[in-house]
């Protein structure tokens, strides 16, 4: 059987976009495990949040946090030296591609003074406020606040002009402002595509003939979908998916997450088994 590696977004792709349910994705996750296909979670979520889901899903594969800011590789994943990686605690090697959050917060502070506008971000919210704004339970809101490389900012339609000015201020410092489903994100030069390409090259060293599959639902998945052999778009009626129309060779699930995730994995596995 040809080797496969699956790279998947989480919110709106594996998890329901509003309720975060994932039960309907479990049969597909089990099918991947049974065939020895790695499932690499690639999310804007924090390391703490992804570790929470990896534990529930019994997932032991590498994962990508905060929109490609860092790639965490459980030790022993690859039988060779991973260049550029540093050891983190007992468990992981980490490839850091993003900018430390402390630097991002400093730049946001400077921009806020220069523009005379206050931007509301996770740094000035407590767990309860993040829970209210995201719909997450309090415990998961706490994990979502443990950001290392990115600052989510409340998107307010009345501040559209201020956000454009903020984007220009951040660009001068080598930082970016992207729009997610619920928040704008101030972050470094990282994206999901660069992180996926670095992991893909490691898997290709392990299995030279392997094919890569990517699953995503939103604009921030575009670089990841462009970095894989088989890109799959999962429908999400709550986000603007127009940016994904340009992905070549794309396939599209019929259902939203989590059913759409299982549908996409079944489709891919039916071709290789």
Annotated active-site positions, please?
Answer: 9
In the bound complex, what is the minimum distance in angstroms from residue 11's beta carbon to Mg ion? 4
* C-beta neighbour count of 129 within 10 angstroms: 15
In the bound complex, what is the minimum distance in angstroms from residue 244's beta carbon to Mg ion? 11
**212-230 exposure pattern, b = at least 16 Cβ within 10 A, e = fewer:** bbbbbbbbbbbbbbbbbeb
In the bound complex, what is the minimum distance in angstroms from residue 9's beta carbon to Mg ion? 4
Contact status, residue 1 vs residue 272, Cβ threshold 8 Å = yes
Q: What is the CA radius of gyration of the chain?
A: 18
What one-character DSSP code corresponds to residue 239? Answer: S
Cβ proximity to Mg ion: between 92 and 232 the closer is: 232
Instruction: Name the closest residue to Mg ion (Cβ).
Output: 12
Cβ proximity to Mg ion: between 196 and 218 the closer is: 218
Token pair in block for residue 156:
């307010």
Token pair in block for residue 24:
């309907």
- Contacts with Mg ion by CB under 5 A lie at 9, 11-12, 217-218
Dihedral (Cα; 41, 199, 65, 155), 10-degree rounding: -90
In the bound complex, what is the minimum distance in angstroms from residue 50's beta carbon to Mg ion? 13
Cβ proximity to Mg ion: between 3 and 185 the closer is: 185
In the bound complex, what is the minimum distance in angstroms from residue 118's beta carbon to Mg ion? 28
Closest CA to 202 of 85, 99, 89, 36: 85
Alpha carbons within 13 A on the beta-carbon side of 53: 30
Cβ proximity to Mg ion: between 74 and 235 the closer is: 235
Cβ proximity to Mg ion: between 11 and 263 the closer is: 11
**Residue 218 phi, psi (nearest 5):** -140, 175
The C-alpha atoms of residue 109 and residue 15 are separated, in whole angstroms, by 34
């Amino acid at each position: 059987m040809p080797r496969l590696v699956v790279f998947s977004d989480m919110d709106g792709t594996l998890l329901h976009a509003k309720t975060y349910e994932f039960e309907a994705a479990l049969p597909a996750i089990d099918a991947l495990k049974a065939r020895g296909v790695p499932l690499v979670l690639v999310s804007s979520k924090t390391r703490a949040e992804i570790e929470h889901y990896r534990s529930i899903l019994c997932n032991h594969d590498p994962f990508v946090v905060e929109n490609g800011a860092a790639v965490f590789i459980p030790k022993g994943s690859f039988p060779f030296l991973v260049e550029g990686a540093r050891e983190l605690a007992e468990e992981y090697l980490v490839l850091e591609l993003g900018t430390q959050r402390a630097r991002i917060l400093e730049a946001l502070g400077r921009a806020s003074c220069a523009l005379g506008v206050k931007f509301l971000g996770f740094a000035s919210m407590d767990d309860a406020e993040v829970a209210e704004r995201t719909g997450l339970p309090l415990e998961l809101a706490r994990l979502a606040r443990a950001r290392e490389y990115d600052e989510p900012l409340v998107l307010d339609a009345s501040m559209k002009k201020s956000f454009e000015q903020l984007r220009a201020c951040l660009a001068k410092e080598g930082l970016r402002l992207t729009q997610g489903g619920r928040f704008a994100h101030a972050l470094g030069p990282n994206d999901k595509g660069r992180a996926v390409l670095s992991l893909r090259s490691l898997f290709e060293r392990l299995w030279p003939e392997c094919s890569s599959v990517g699953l995503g639902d939103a604009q921030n998945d575009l670089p990841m979908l462009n970095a894989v052999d088989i890109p799959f778009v999962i429908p999400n009626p709550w986000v603007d998916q127009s940016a994904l129309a340009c992905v070549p060779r794309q396939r599209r699930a019929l259902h939203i997450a989590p059913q759409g995730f299982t549908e996409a994995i079944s489709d891919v596995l039916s071709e290789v088994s």
